[in-house]
Structure 1
Amino acid sequence: MSPYAGHRAGTTVREAVVRFLRETGMTTAFGNPGSTELRMFRDWPEDFTYVLGLQESTAVALAAGHALGTRRAAFVSLHSAGGVGHALGAVFNAHRDRVPLLIVAGQQARSLIQLRPFLGADEPDRFPRPYVKFARQPERAADVPAVLAEAHRIAMTHPRGPVFVSVPEDDWDEPAEPVRPRTVHAAYTADQDALAALAARLDTCARPALVAGPGVDDEEALPEARALAERTRAAVWISPLSGRSGFPETHPLFQGFLPPVPGQLAARLAPYDVVVALGAPVFTYHVAEDAPPLHPGTELFHLDCDPAQAAWLPTGTSIVTCLKPALTRLTAQLASTDREPPPPRPAPPPAGSGPGITAELVFDLLRARLPRDRVLVEEAPSHRDALHARVPVDASGGFLTTGSGALGWGLPLAVGRALADRRRVVCVLGDGSALYSVQALWTAARHRAPVSYVLLDNGGYAAVRSLGRRIGVSPVPGTDITGIDFPALAAALGCPADHATDPADLPAALDRVLDADDEDGPRLLHLRVAATEGAMYTDPWAG
């Protein structure tokens, strides 16, 4: 029997695509519509939800949050070349953070493409590269459903990520055969000899350590990573600037977050004779420094599903594999051990009292109020190390940020994540970060997304100023942001907002923004905090 049996004759590209989206669970679409997408929206199905982002990078981040919450690909509609250009910073984030997105961009009519028309995209399949796993404009209108289905399979195959299809606007009304979804199982299995050699090395080493990266969360392998750590009694670190949670941070084996500085990172790992990186780039640096990646005597093993990442690592032995099956088999091969576990990470001292509100005080109060199952989204670069030290995350998927550094991700990401299961999300933002995508508050309000925003206003791009001080560049022009009434701006976009200036008022203000009912939609708390005066990454990261 034909795989298309039972479908009526005369199906259009639009009908075939809508059917495919419905059957793959992508009935929530994200985008910012334009003229080249109009035919796609003809007879828009009533069981679909369209989430409007007021700029294309915002739409991509909204979709990414939804994909991370549902663990499925999300559908994003962009408007021709201009919309793809606007969105590329967010596409870059999605690529580095392994977020599966099915991105469809409108293109001018096929009959006009040769004439370089208004809104036409030249070489559209090259535009978003290299930050998509797949990019294509189908040769024929009839191929659109099949190309979209292929792109979806690629997006959902580890290492997952965004894919891109350009569709000429007159294709949507053309005839095409429907395409049914099919499953691709991609449980890459590690070489058994390589796993056995690693198990033997872990059995004989004196001081093992694990480095948990975003791949642990992406592959839902946190229970397996924890079992390996407990079996080996290894110290556990999280990779530098990771965009995901990778290990329960209140666990006694957890040691902290590796710094994105070559010498500091090597020094943190120097006490260990064997380090096993799990779904982690390991050497994600933010500043340049003349230092080796690891000290002599530290042997690195690296497990990850991405062969490209395995290829570029400067040192160590890589095993290309999906983590869940590999960690299960590795742990089963290990002998029991009586080695002494590392001492627990010391807790930071309580934030001091003073005349003004500090980020450290906010985080201490947040820690006491944040339910263990609450998702925490962060985009406050100058306060990130303090947040990590004072607000531990234990749950898989419990922490989300950008692992690549393109700002404007956190605010809309939190909206998409909240819409995925309608549970309240907490988002900690800096003022500079918020202004990249503040229009997403309108989307949050329109869809009553349960997000509690805590906006730390330090008057500018404090992280840039801090990095400038590190290399002797001070002052840095263009880093001051003043005169913005954030509560009024949020209210104008439909998001109720509050503020506090006195530390004594802070606990009650946090309670109001955090304890809102999920049905109440978004809330924002604006807090003026002191800017960090030190140079970034000069102090030990481990808190």
Structure 2
Amino acid sequence: MPTVKEVTFNLLRKLGITTVVGNPGSTEETFLKNFPEDFDYVMALQEASVVGIADGLSQGLRKPVIVNVHTGAGLGNAMGNLLTAYLNKTPLIITAGQQTREMLLMEPFLTNIDSTQLPKPWVKWAYQPARAEDVPGAFLRAYAMAIQEPAGPVFLSLPLDDWDKEMSFEVPVRSVSTRKGPEPDCLKTFADKINAARNPVLVYGGDIARIGQTAWSSGIAFAEKINAPVWEAPFCERTPFPETHALYAGELPAAIGPLSDKLANHDLIVVIGAPVFRYYPYVPGSYLPNGAQLIQVTDDPDEAAKAIVGDSLVSDAGLFLDAALPLIKSRANQAKAPLRLAPKTPSHELPLAPLAVFAALKANSPKELIVTNESPSNTADFQDQFRFDQPDSFYTFASGGLGWNMPASVGLALAEKKNGRNRPVLCVMGDGSYQYSLQSVYTAVQQKAHVIYVVLQNEEYGILKEFAVLEETPNVPGLDLPGLDIVSLAKGYGANAIHVETTDDLGKAYCNALEFKGTSVIVVPITKKLGNLIQK
């Protein structure tokens, strides 16, 4: 008879899930022994990088990925990026080995105690099979849970002695729907409100981008039909609307008062595919401009329930847009000047300002490119220079937790290899952010991933110094980062690495990295001038 392991791997083949990202431990080796040749195993040096790589890979391929970490200890290491995967709505099947069933009663060394509780609340479902024969069925249920909207990570705790047990039956593959459409009466009510509005405004979020090209196109058609400006939701993790479009207004600030001020004079705020709202830090004010109403479309019932204002419709963003378009009246499409100013012209004074770094990168970037950004204190300058007009071109974290973009960039690059598009990945990092998951550089090198890390080095946690000004908290310790030799760190993992200071040298190094098609790290000293945390 086949073993639990054989039935499980056959099931995963039928589901098309043949990539495992992991860091092996003793409680996982029974799962990994005689690893099948038709499966890919991507090894990372630490579990935070494991989850980040898998997240990027899953988003790039638009399909689930198996994550394998080491019992409770490894799952603990993974939790920061697991939180991000949950907020990114990425369908990951997180697995961790568990001690032998015969010893679980005494909780021996490396037991994952309360295994299903540890990953909560950052998984949709957590389970430890009651018997070995339930392992394949647990994978099928995990798959179904992960891909249903809102998609997200799930968790399985798997005792190490289950895999060699014999099974007398196969687990039949079954399908589940993954998208839910709008409730008709609520759809009509929303359409009527949009048609009756004097001056509506749109706020788009990452759900539109996750769906793909069809929702991207529907979002454009929807905005053009009602001739309304489009804002990106605060801390938006994917680009949901072309940022060169005349109706694109920018990204909303993530604070109550300033966000409301940006939407002044609009009587209806239409939020599609985003929470209401990701606020941080606290800056008081009215949630909505005087006299304004808000309606929200989200695939997440929890986001609908906790929205602080407005009426919510639980629906897939793309299905809502397609269903609403025929119900929406066209508005006069008068010629409008772009809502955003042209990109600024930077100074080339040394040390370079972040704006100059981003301008040099943009000037030398190919059209086909993926960009990730984890330099939070420089986001405004980044958005000024990089204006994405194609779907699936920009990714970042939905959580605010550092350490995601470096490994996720590796996963995105691996997805590009698998799907044959082969776009390079540019990952913009702060020197502080770089330290959180720098082990992922090793995986990038070993996997021959085409990733270019550009590290802006100001020897400080710039974003925290901005918060210190906002919160009036002087003399906070631990905000300076002297003595980091990032070039040596990168070379230690096998990457091509270089230190540059001028825009000319940066441009040359970047072009060389694009030509190299491997993993490169470019370190650029920048000025320590603080940005503006709230107004972008």
Q: TM-score when scaled to structure 2?
A: 0.96
Query: Corresponding residue for 2:24?
Result: 33
Structure 1 counterpart of 2:304, which letter?
A
Query: Corresponding residue for 1:416?
Result: 411
Query: Corresponding residue for 1:211?
Result: 203
Query: What CA distance in whole angstroms lies between the structure 2 residues aligned with 1:203 and 1:230?
Result: 14
Q: Which moved more, 1:455-464 or 1:21-30?
A: 21-30
| SS, match of residue 34 in structure 1 | coil
8 Å Cα contact 2:354/2:378 also seen in 1: yes
Structure 1 counterpart of 2:413, which letter?
A
Query: Corresponding residue for 1:526?
Result: 523
For structure 2, the residue ranges without an aligned partner over 5 or more in a row are none
Query: Corresponding residue for 2:181?
Result: 189
Query: Corresponding residue for 1:261?
Result: 255
Cα distance per residue 1:57-93 (max 9 Å; x no partner): 1100000010001000110001001001010001000
Query: What CA distance in whole angstroms lies between the structure 2 residues aligned with 1:178 and 1:125?
Result: 26
Q: Which residue of 398, 402, 405 corresponds with 1:403?
A: 398
Give the C-alpha shift of residue 340 in structure 1. Answer: 4.3
Query: Corresponding residue for 2:341?
Result: 346
Cα distance per residue 1:450-480 (max 9 Å; x no partner): 1111111111211111111111112321111
8 Å Cα contact 2:147/2:178 also seen in 1: no
Identity of counterpart residues, as a percentage?
35
Q: Which residue of 114, 119, 122 corresponds with 2:110?
A: 119
Query: What CA distance in whole angstroms lies between the structure 2 residues aligned with 1:186 and 1:48?
Result: 25
| SS, match of residue 429 in structure 2 | strand
Structure 1 counterpart of 2:189, which letter?
A
| SS, match of residue 36 in structure 1 | coil
Tell me: CA distance 1:270–1:341, structure 2 relative to 1, closer, same or farther (3 Å): farther
Q: Which residue of 291, 302, 305 corresponds with 2:296?
A: 302
Query: Corresponding residue for 1:449?
Result: 449
Give the C-alpha shift of residue 285 in structure 1. Answer: 1.0
8 Å Cα contact 1:283/1:293 also seen in 2: no
8 Å Cα contact 2:266/2:289 also seen in 1: no
8 Å Cα contact 1:372/1:393 also seen in 2: no
Query: What CA distance in whole angstroms lies between the structure 1 residues aligned with 2:103 and 2:480?
Result: 46
8 Å Cα contact 2:258/2:283 also seen in 1: no
Cα distance per residue 1:321-372 (max 9 Å; x no partner): 1122211110111222216476411124211231322210111122222233
Give the C-alpha shift of residue 386 in structure 1. Answer: 1.3
8 Å Cα contact 2:344/2:385 also seen in 1: no
Q: Which residue of 64, 80, 102 corresponds with 2:93?
A: 102
Give the C-alpha shift of residue 197 in structure 1. Answer: 2.2
Equivalences for residues 7-406 of structure 1 within 5 A:
10-176=1-167, 177-220=169-212, 221-338=215-332, 340=334, 343-344=337-338, 345-406=340-401
Structure 1 counterpart of 2:527, which letter?
A
Give the C-alpha shift of residue 182 in structure 1. Answer: 2.4
Equivalences for residues 480-495 of structure 1 within 5 A:
480-495=480-495
Query: What CA distance in whole angstroms lies between the structure 2 residues aligned with 1:374 and 1:502?
Result: 23
Give the C-alpha shift of residue 187 in structure 1. Answer: 2.8
Aligned length: 527
Give the C-alpha shift of residue 448 in structure 1. Answer: 0.4
Q: Which moved more, 1:47-56 or 1:19-28?
A: 19-28
8 Å Cα contact 1:203/1:337 also seen in 2: no
Tell me: CA distance 1:253–1:32, structure 2 relative to 1, closer, same or farther (3 Å): same
2:505 matched to 1:505? Answer: yes
Give the C-alpha shift of residue 421 in structure 1. Answer: 1.9
8 Å Cα contact 1:234/1:341 also seen in 2: no
Cα distance per residue 1:380-410 (max 9 Å; x no partner): 1111121112101122121111111111101
Tell me: CA distance 1:341–1:405, structure 2 relative to 1, closer, same or farther (3 Å): farther
Query: What CA distance in whole angstroms lies between the structure 2 residues aligned with 1:17 and 1:147?
Result: 10
Structure 2 counterpart of 1:274, which letter?
L
Tell me: CA distance 1:505–1:373, structure 2 relative to 1, closer, same or farther (3 Å): closer
8 Å Cα contact 2:72/2:111 also seen in 1: yes
8 Å Cα contact 1:432/1:481 also seen in 2: yes
Q: TM-score when scaled to structure 1?
A: 0.94
Query: Corresponding residue for 1:6?
Result: none
Tell me: CA distance 1:202–1:343, structure 2 relative to 1, closer, same or farther (3 Å): farther
8 Å Cα contact 1:367/1:392 also seen in 2: no
| SS, match of residue 240 in structure 2 | coil
Give the C-alpha shift of residue 294 in structure 1. Answer: 0.9
For structure 1, the residue ranges without an aligned partner over 5 or more in a row are 1-9
